[in-house]
Amino acid sequence: MTIKIYELCGDNPERLFSPHCWKVRMAVAHKGLSWETIPTPFTKVATIEGGDSRRIPVIRDGDTVVEESYEIARYLEATYPDAPSLFKGDGGDALTALTINWSATQVHPEVVKLCLLDIYNSLAPVDQEFFRESREKMFGCTLEEFDAKHAKSGDGLAKVLLPLELTLKKQKFIGGESPLFADYVVFGALQWLRTSSTEDYLKADSAVANWFDVLLDMYDGMGRKGRVAA
Ligand SMILES: N[C@@H](CCC(=O)N[C@@H](CS)C(=O)NCC(=O)O)C(=O)O
């Protein structure tokens, strides 16, 4: 059975840039399942699979529709227990929640500072209108004012990534010897930046950059192919 993954896309349907969708795509590949992507622009997200206020990612697996990246990972773990584990047990699952919350509150804000305007520029006009209105309300200023406020050195990102940098100096993955869903959570955030911007912001030769490179090459280089030309 092929799993359908609804993934956020830009004007170019091959530009798949959502952090949460990358988490799910990596999780499905980790489980060795077959899937197809349904590229979905911002203005079509709410009504996926007959919904009226959906957020992306959403998957359809046979008759089952699941929304929200962590819920999807847990669904995959429960439904495909014989495929490689995404959590390695209840303790791993519980610790994943910390990684999700750390990434969402520390890493995501730094990523947004670096690529908000790049995201806007990659969208179709109708989605640009939606994005501008919703994000300007969220940030309380125009996209251009937000962009101008933030330096593009990558130092802020490196600062919040310090706990991960120290961890990856001692172990190959957040999951230990091999990646788990927690790795894909942070990978998703950094892949969001990589697929939105043409700049590389990770500090060269850092443990995080080396770990990210390894993940980009996994599953037939799926992540590496994710950056499409402007
Ligand atoms: N906690 C959710 C977050 C989902 C989310 O924020 N999705 C964004 C795209 S990355 C979305 O659907 N945005 C639509 C909108 O802004 O209306 C998850 O992990 O799946």
The model's pLDDT over 201-229, given as tens digits with 9 standing for 90+, comes to 999 999 999 999 999 999 999 999 999 87
- The CATH number given to whatever domain includes residue 67 is 3.40.30.10
56 CA distance to ligand 1 centroid (A)?
Answer: 5
CB distance 224 to ligand 1 below 6 Å = no
Reported as a pLDDT band with limits 50, 70 and 90, residue 18 is: very high
Task: Give the C-alpha separation, 193 to 199, whole Å.
Answer: 9
Same domain, residue pair 21 and 131:
no
Residue 85 belongs to a domain: no
Q: Domain of 52?
A: 3-79
**Number of CB atoms found within 10 A of residue 97's CB:** 12
109 and 72 housed in the same domain: no
What is the tens place of the pLDDT at every residue in 171-181?
A: 999 999 999 99
Distance of CA 138 to the CA centre of its chain: 20
The number of domains in the chain is 2
The CATH number assigned to the domain holding 198 equals 1.20.1050.10
Task: Estimate the crossing angle of helix 181-196 against helix 90-102, to 10 degrees.
Answer: 30
Specify whether 206 is located in the same domain as 127.
yes
DSSP 108: H
Type of residue numbered 43? T
Task: Convert the pLDDT of each residue in 35-49 to its tens digit.
Answer: 999 999 999 999 999
Question: Is residue 144 one of the residues assigned to a domain?
Answer: yes
- 186 close to 22: Cβ distance less than 8 angstroms: no
Separation of 66 CA from ligand 1 center, angstroms?
A: 13
Q: Are 103 and 212 in a shared domain? A: yes
Domain closes at, from 59, 79, 99: 79
- Greatest CA separation for the chain: 50
φ, ψ of residue 83 to 5 degrees: the values are -80, 160
- Read off the tokens for 136: 């300007």
Residues 214 and 126 in one domain: yes
Ligand 1 mean position to 170 CA, how many Å?
33
Nearest to 6 by CA among 63, 55, 70: 55
Statement to judge: residues 221 and 140 lie in one domain:
yes
Give the residues across from 60 on adjacent strands: 4, 65
Beta bridge partners of 176: 173
